[in-house]
Structure 1
Amino acid sequence: MFGSSVDFSFKEINTISDVLSDVPNSSAHPPKRDSKKKFISMSFRLNNNSIKDLTGLMDTLSALFSEPTRLAWLDLSFNEIKHIDSVLTQLKELRLLYLHGNNIQELSEVDKLAVLPSLHTITLHGNPIVSERDYRAHLIAMLPHVKMIDFSAVTKQERELTSVWQKSKNTHKSTGYSKSD
């Protein structure tokens, strides 16, 4: 579906731009390249590294990929990312985003991804935010197109319950009611 992945996993990479001075992992089916030696792929794997933030992501994608904005699968799992960078919102065709095993602590970080119309799969397990109350409901509410969260399908019942939860939450805000009242 996404062609062969450009794979920089397990490379001890500290910053996104570090990939520009390295070569991707070899595979049985290496990604194709265009006449400018850029990768013809929609998949980028940076998992199991030491990346702390996404500084330089678009420049790196532009240097590596023939069509950087068409990236559909981005694997940033098992890094040291604390914040979901708004640079991801430029990837309008992003469908799968793996962020599990990082250090994302604020549930509101996910809200930035609401502008991605094609995002249907996201992983965040192994981040501190999963212990937040209403974690899944918040993701379903903020990412209406999402079909899979943490490798588990979003059910019709979950969507209905989230809708009720969201209406209840909005009612409490508008009436000034809080849980401590």
Structure 2
Amino acid sequence: MKAQTLSMKTQYAWLKSAKPLDYSFKGLKTVDGGSIIFFNGELKNEEKPLSTRVQGIPRINKRTNRYLTGSFWLNNNYLIHVNGLRKLAERLLESADHLSWLDLSNNKLIAVNPEILLFPNLTVLYMHNNRIFDLVEVYKLCKLKNLLTLTLSGNPVEATTDYRQIVVYMLPTLRKLDNSPVLRSERKPLGIPYSKCIRNRLLTEYPEDFKWIPLPPAPRPPPPSLITNRSPQNSNKSVIVNFI
């Protein structure tokens, strides 16, 4: 068992250092169904990855016809979702479980697709310059227990008040966010830095994760010092009576 574990770690380290599988700038519209569909709608299952950016392509296991790499680049395309990404990775990569670097930057993604969470050893995730606007979507990434590097700059979510503080709070494993190291001072507990809207949605969508957060207090009744009463002399007018 120990030898097997050591072998898996060695394989993971080797795949992590291999050349990336580069399908950037391909005009990809979707990867649904484990295939690659291009912007013009033409299906090309045998489309070859780019080789110019990284001076070559990953080695191929001749027995399985899959690429020996732990890095998959799908940046600078037209992806609006990544449904079928896990199936595609299983078809193209020798070990989808060992995927460590996924580049989805410069696409049209509006959400963190659950498919991204199906890669347990993902350490680097690029999602900058997309259309993600909701911090609750970002919270999904806490399921990636090995995630160290994340980019979200260029998404509408970046304009959220206390954006960086909240993302660091949500994803405690991060060491780098938007190409800037996460400082120790940023990890100091500063209470719950969520707006009321985000906090209530997290409580609703992830009750087990946030059951320790008390529910918002019920609205207080108006103070008894000011009440409205009607004058017996003029029933059409209201007067303010102060109780001291």
* TM surpasses 0.5: yes
| One of 18, 25, 29 as aligned partner of 1:10 | 25
Matched with 2:51 is: 26
| One of 195, 208, 217 as aligned partner of 1:176 | 217
Answer with 1 or 2: which has the greater Rg: 2
1:109 is the counterpart of 2:137? yes
Are the equivalent residues in 2 in contact too, given 1:2–1:72 (CA < 8 A)?
A: no
Question: Match for 2:133: what amino acid?
Answer: Q
1:168/1:108 Cα in 2 relative to 1: closer, same or farther (>3 Å)?
closer
Are the equivalent residues in 2 in contact too, given 1:74–1:98 (CA < 8 A)?
A: yes
Q: Distance in 1 between matches of 2:127 and 2:136?
A: 15
Are the equivalent residues in 1 in contact too, given 2:162–2:193 (CA < 8 A)?
A: no
Are the equivalent residues in 1 in contact too, given 2:111–2:132 (CA < 8 A)?
A: yes
Matched with 2:203 is: none
Matched with 2:8 is: none
Are the equivalent residues in 2 in contact too, given 1:2–1:73 (CA < 8 A)?
A: no
Q: Which runs of 5+ in 1 are unaligned?
A: none
Deviations for 1:49-103, whole angstroms, at most 9, x for unmatched residues?
Answer: 0000011101100110010111000000000000101111111100000000000
Q: Which runs of 5+ in 2 are unaligned?
A: 1-15, 38-44, 200-211, 220-244
Shift of 1:4: 0.3
Q: Give me the identity figure in percent.
A: 31
Cα RMSD (Å)? 2.3
Deviations for 1:146-165, whole angstroms, at most 9, x for unmatched residues?
Answer: 000000010001111xx113
Question: Match for 1:157: what amino acid?
Answer: S
- The one of the two structures with greater contact order (alpha-carbon pairs below 8 A, sep at least 6) is 1
Question: Match for 2:22: what amino acid?
Answer: D
| One of 138, 144, 154 as aligned partner of 2:166 | 138
Question: Match for 2:217: what amino acid?
Answer: G
Secondary structure of the 1:89 match is helix
Are the equivalent residues in 2 in contact too, given 1:124–1:150 (CA < 8 A)?
A: yes
1:156 is the counterpart of 2:187? no
Question: Match for 2:23: what amino acid?
Answer: F
Q: Distance in 1 between matches of 2:191 and 2:25?
A: 40
Q: Distance in 2 between matches of 1:172 and 1:7?
A: 43
1:128/1:167 Cα in 2 relative to 1: closer, same or farther (>3 Å)?
closer
1:9/1:167 Cα in 2 relative to 1: closer, same or farther (>3 Å)?
closer
TM-score normalised by structure 1 residue count: 0.89
Question: Match for 1:9: what amino acid?
Answer: S
